Amino acid sequence: MDYSLELIIKYLSRALMLLLVLPVMNCAKGLVAKKQGDNTAEQSGRITLNPMAHLDLLGSLLIMLIGFGWSKPMPINYLRMKNTKKGIILVALTGPLSLFLMSIVCRNISAALFAFLGYENITVWAIAFIFSMLSGISVSIGVLHLLPLPGMDGFILLYYLTGNKFAAWYHKNQRAIDQYSFYVFMGLILIGRLTNGLIDPIGWIINIFDWLLSLTTFWTLFIQ
């Protein structure tokens, strides 16, 4: 691939993450929290797809520079919810599930464009390619949010779906766990790059999810 084209694709994907993917996830979490009785996100103006409401300056800068960062934390008050534990679990599930749903929608739009309009038109190809990129980004972020590490939705699910023994163990060792979890996370992110994909557990999991979600486009096989 031409180096200049590779740079365009890289930074376009990072911009799409900031402007579309993260706002969708945050907005979905806010809507679920509201449904559970907490309107904190709504009062803070965060139930919106406007990316300016979600961008964090430092997190956005890091995303554009190195491909990893964060958006503003969603202002959610679980104590306002009708059922606290249920609300926490549903909001945590909403993060990755909304991203996987977004991936399915984008993947099917891309497949439909190619199925009905073909590959020859450069405009169609470009639009389909952007939707395909959005799909891939959504899957990747969704998988990362499922990791059972502090700060991720997967850890929240692990904490509230396991028994009191896990909660007691975590609180007893919270400082060390939180500290080493950061190193584990960065190691999982970097090991694939350092080994050129030879050892890449996160990449393997993302590929599995990506393949499973790609099955939703099977209907295009029946279009001549």
Q: Give the model confidence (pLDDT) of 138-194 as tens digits.
A: 998 899 999 999 989 999 999 999 988 999 999 999 999 998 998 998 898 889 888
Q: Look at residue 174 in the predicted model and tell me its pLDDT.
A: 93
SS3 track for 120-187: CCHHHHHHHHHHHHHHHHHHHHHHHHCCCCCCCHHHHHHHHHCCHHHHHHHHHCHHHHHHHHHHHHHH
pTM: 0.89
Residue 224 has pLDDT above 60, yes or no: no
Cα(74)–Cα(77) distance, integer angstroms: 9
Q: Look at residue 99 in the predicted model and tell me its pLDDT.
A: 93
Q: Look at residue 168 in the predicted model and tell me its pLDDT.
A: 93
Q: How confident is the model at residue 2 (pLDDT cuts 50, 70, 90)?
A: low
Q: Look at residue 192 in the predicted model and tell me its pLDDT.
A: 85
Residue 24 has pLDDT above 70, yes or no: yes
Residue-wise pLDDT tens digits, 190-207: 898 888 889 999 999 999
Q: Look at residue 201 in the predicted model and tell me its pLDDT.
A: 92
Q: Look at residue 14 in the predicted model and tell me its pLDDT.
A: 85
Percent with pLDDT over 70 in the chain: 98
Q: For residues 211 and 2, which has the higher predicted lDDT (pLDDT)?
A: 211
Q: For residues 117 and 155, which has the higher predicted lDDT (pLDDT)?
A: 155
Q: Are 19 and 64 in contact (CB under 8 A)?
A: no
Contacts of 141-144 with CB under 8 Å at 24 or more apart are 141/17, 141/21, 141/22, 141/25, 141/99, 142/95, 142/96, 142/97, 142/99, 142/100, 142/103, 142/209, 143/96, 143/202, 143/205, 143/206, 143/209, 144/202
Q: For residues 168 and 118, which has the higher predicted lDDT (pLDDT)?
A: 168
Pair of tokens at residue 87: 């609300």
Residue 137 has pLDDT above 60, yes or no: yes
Q: Look at residue 197 in the predicted model and tell me its pLDDT.
A: 81
Cα(135)–Cα(206) distance, integer angstroms: 12
- Residue 154 CA, chain-centre distance (Å), reads 12
Residue-wise pLDDT tens digits, 45-93: 999 999 999 999 998 998 888 777 788 989 999 999 999 999 999 999 9
